[in-house]
Amino acid sequence: MASALRSVVLRHVRLPVSQALTARGSMMSYARWMSSHDDHLSKSEVVERVLDVVKSFPKVDPSKVTHEVHFQKDLGLDSLDNVEIVMALEEEFKLEIPDKEADKIDSCALAIEYIYNHPMAG
């Protein structure tokens, strides 16, 4: 159910590729922009940014957020909240997480590992 809901939400949020390229200028400037962001993030940068995203989620008490926190068990979030956090992480790191992988991300530790190991995270 979470992946179906996520797909519905994403259909209304994403820009078609042609509009995204037009917004950035030409294909060449887009390629240059992408290549300037291809440095791999350090683990500490990923940890800090993931924790910041989770702490800024409206239903989360920031004082409870740690590297090990589980979204549902420790923070009391539901599956829709989980989808929203994964979407916020996608936006923060400028990447798209496939539904099969997104459904597995239910804690900060799993989000950190996935993003740190993703070659396009920026």
Catalytic residues: 78
| CA–CA distance, 86 with 83 (Å, rounded to integer) | 5
Judge whether 11 and 87 are in contact, CB under 8 Å.
no
Question: Structure tokens of 88?
Answer: 């916020």
- Residue 70: left (phi > 0), alpha (psi -120 to 50), or beta? beta
